[in-house]
Amino acid sequence: MVNYRVMPNEKPDEILSILAADARTTPERIADLTGSPVDVVVAAIIDYEKRGVIKRYKTIIDWEKTGQERMFAFIDVKVQPARDVGFDNVAKRIYRFPEVQSVWLVSGGSDLRVVVHGGNIRELGRFVAEKLATIDGVIATDTHFLLRRYKEDNDIFVDLEDDERLVVTP
Amino acid sequence: MKEEKKTTPPLAKLARELAPSGIRRFFDIAASMQDVISLGVGEPDFVTPWAVREAAIYSLERGQTTYTSNYGLIELRKLISEHLQERYSVNYRPDDEILVTVGVSEGMDLAMRTILDPGDEVLVPEPCYVSYKPCVTLAGGIAVGIATSAENDFCVSASQLQAASTSKTKAILLGFPSNPTGATMPRAALEEIVKLAVASNWFIISDEIYDRLSYDEMHNCVSSIPGAFERTILLNGFSKAYAMTGWRLGYVCAPEAILTPMMRIHSYTMLCAPITSQKGAIEALRSCESAVQDMISQYNRRRKFIVAGLNKIGLQCHLPKGAFYAFPSIASTGLTCEEFAERLLFEEHVAVVPGTAFGMGGENHIRCSYATSLEKIETALIRMGRFVERLSGKSLVEQSR
C-alpha cells in the first residue's frame, strides 16, 4: 500500500528546516522563501532561540581541506550502571572533557557511543587509555578511528558531479 | 551516356511541414556560451532518489532485461492503481485500464492516434507544452488553439472552449498544472468543462504530469470530476514527481474500451516500456514519498523566492500554483519576448524561454524555470535586474522616488 499524507507540500516548520540547512540564511531571505513577512520570521526565530529550540548556529568545515590534521575516533564504551543514576554519572564525566564532541546512550553491545577529536592518533590514544578507560564504571572501550568522511549531517564530503542537464529543454 | 540525377522520393508532407520547436533556437545559442545560468530547463535539478536507482541497478544485476507485458509489469500497474485511488479516489483496474508508456509523450501520441480521424479538431488551451499541437497534427487532426491570459491566471473556461468548438471538435486537451505558466485549474471550472464535454460528446485528454507539484491546494484529477471518467484519457508519469525524466516512463489510464485500442497501437509501435525503468518506478511508488515531499518543499521555497525577486526587479509575476515555472510579464520593458530572451542571453548570460514558444497567450511573457539551485536563481535575478534596469534607462532607486 502506498502511504501518503493527503495534503502535501507544507512542512510544519519551514523556518527551522531552512535554518537547519543553512544557518546563515537571513530573515529577509527566509521571508522570500516562505512568503511570510520579515517581522514574523524575526519574531519566530527569537522565540525559537529563547525556548532553546535553536541551541546555536554552527559551521560545517571540511577540516581535511584546511591541511590541518584533526583525528576523530568513535569509541564504544561499556559501562557498569550505578544505582539511581544509571549511566548518567559516567556519561557526565566523559562529556566534560573538551576533546569529547558527542556522547550518546545507545542500545546494543555497548552502552555509550562517544566521539572524540584530537590533533593526531597519539593524542587520541592517550586520551582513551589515560582518561576514558580509567573512569570508575567504565568496563571496556572499543575505539574506531575515522579514516574518511563521506557524508555527515546530510552534507556529502566528496565532490559531486556537475549539472549535466541540457541548457534549455521544453 | 547520360548521367542519371540522383534523387530520393519526397518525404511525407506532414514531416516536411512540421515546424521546429521554438525552444530549439535558444538551446543552440545557449549551449555554445560559457557561464550561462539557465532558467530554461524543463526538468528537475534533483537526481532520481537513490532507492530508485539502486532498485534499477539490482534488477540489472539479476539479469531482468526482458520485454514485459505490453501493458507493463502488473506489479507496477497495481501500484499506480492504488496511488490514484489513494490520492484522488479514482478507480482504474490494473488489468485493462492502465498502460505503462515511454513517458507521457508516448501516451499523448497514442491518445491522439486512438481518437482522431483525419480532420477531427482538438481544442488546445495555450500557452501549452510544445508537443501538444504537433501530436494532434501527426495523428491527422487539427489543433485549435485557445489563448488564455494572465488576467484569468492562464486558466481556460468552458465558455472559451464552447466558442472555439465546431461540429468537427472531437476532444479537449488539458495540461494542468501547466508548463509553461504554472497555472492550475479550480475544481469548479473543471466541473463546467466536464459538463460541456459530456453535453457535446467530446473526449478529454488530461496531461497531469505535474500533479504532485501543486503547492497551495490539492491537485484536481480530471477523472475524479463526476461524468469525466468514461471519456477521459488520463496521462501521467514519473519524470517530474520522482525526478526521473531520463527514464522515460509514463502511464495512461482510461476505460477499457479506450485503453484496449491504445494498447494495440502501443504493442505494434513500442511493444513495452523498458523493464529497468519499470522496476525503478515500482520502487519510486513504494518507498519514495518522503523524497517527493522534500523536493516539493524545495520547489515551493524557490517558487516564492523567484516570484518575489521577479516582482522586485519590475517584471510583474503572479504566484504560479503548480509545476516549476514562473511566467512573468515583460511588457513593461517594451521588448517582445523573443527580443527580451535573446538580449538577456547575449548581454547577461541568462537563458529563459520566450512565451511565444508555447503558443498563443505567451506574448509578452517569458518562462523561468525554478528547477535550479537557489544560488543560481539568485544570481540570475541579479543579472536580470541589471538588464531590466539598463532597459528602463534609470535605476530602480530612481523609479521608486
Per-residue pLDDT of chain B (401 residues; tens, 9 = 90+): 566 777 899 999 999 999 888 777 778 888 888 899 999 999 999 999 999 999 999 999 999 999 999 999 999 999 999 999 999 999 999 999 999 999 999 999 999 999 999 999 999 999 999 999 999 999 999 999 999 999 999 999 999 999 999 999 999 999 999 999 999 999 999 999 999 999 999 999 999 999 999 999 999 999 999 999 999 999 999 999 999 999 999 999 999 999 999 999 999 999 999 999 999 999 999 999 999 999 999 999 999 999 999 999 999 999 999 999 999 999 999 999 999 999 999 999 999 999 999 999 999 999 999 999 999 999 999 999 999 999 988 544 444 44
Number of Cβ atoms within 10 Å of the Cβ of B112: 26
The residues that bridge with A86 in the sheet, in sequence order, are A82
Distance CA B365, CA B337 (A): 6
- For each of the domains in chain B, give its residue range(s) and CATH number, in order of start: 21-48+290-392 (3.90.1150.10), 50-286 (3.40.640.10)
A17 neighbors B296 (Cβ within 8 angstroms): no
CB under 8 A, 24+ apart: contacts of B238-241:
B238/B277, B238/B280, B238/B281, B238/B284, B239/B43, B239/B44, B239/B103, B239/B104, B239/B209, B240/B43, B240/B44, B240/B209, B240/B210, B240/B212, B240/B213, B240/B323, B240/B324, B241/B211, B241/B212, B241/B213, B241/B292, B241/B295
Residue B79 grid coordinates: 501500484
- Does A101 reach chain B within 8 Å, measured CB to CB? no
Inter-chain contact B23–A168, Cβ cutoff 8 Å?
yes
- Tell me the C-alpha to C-alpha distance, in Å, between residue A27 and each of A18, A24, A36, A38, B370: 10, 9, 10, 6, 21
Distance CA A43, CA A48 (A): 9
Distance CA B68, CA B274 (A): 8
- Does A169 reach chain B within 8 Å, measured CB to CB? yes
Q: Which fold has domain A63-147?
A: Alpha-Beta Plaits (3.30.70)
Q: What is the mean pLDDT of chain A?
A: 88
B53: enclosing H helix or E strand: helix B50-61
What pLDDT does residue B394 have?
A: 55
Please give the single-letter amino acid code of residue B51: A
- Residues of A whose CB is below 8 A from B296: 8-9
Number of Cβ atoms within 10 Å of the Cβ of B264: 13
Distance CA A39, CA B326 (A): 26
What pLDDT does residue A1 have?
A: 39
My answer on whether omega of the bond before B261 falls inside 30° of 0, hence cis, is: no
Q: pLDDT tens digit string along B88-123? A: 999 999 999 999 999 999 999 999 999 999 999 999
B203 neighbors B231 (Cβ within 8 angstroms): yes
- Does A14 reach chain B within 8 Å, measured CB to CB? yes
- Residues of A whose CB is below 8 A from B302: 33
Q: Which residue has the cell 471550472?
A: B189
- Does A156 reach chain B within 8 Å, measured CB to CB? no
Residue B21 grid coordinates: 520547436
Exposure of A126 by Cβ count < 10 A (0-12 exposed, 13-18 middle, 19+ buried)?
A: exposed
Q: What is the full DSSP assignment across A47-90? A: HHHHTTSS--------HHHHT---EEEEEEEEE--BTTTBTHHH
Inter-chain contact A2–B86, Cβ cutoff 8 Å?
yes
Inter-chain contact B129–A170, Cβ cutoff 8 Å?
yes
Distance CA B367, CA B130 (A): 13
Residue B160: strand, helix, or coil: helix
Residue B249: strand, helix, or coil: coil
Residue B228: strand, helix, or coil: coil
User: Which pTM does this prediction carry?
Assistant: 0.87
- Residues of A whose CB is below 8 A from B351: 167-168
Has the ipTM of the complex gone over 0.85? no
Give the A:B interface size as CB pairs under 8 Å: 92
Q: pLDDT tens digit string along B24-70? A: 777 888 888 889 999 999 999 999 999 999 999 999 999 999 999 99
- Residues of A whose CB is below 8 A from B289: 2-4
- Which residues, in sequence order, are CB contacts of B205 under 8 Å at separation 6+? B108, B111, B112, B115, B122, B171, B172, B173, B174, B232, B233, B235
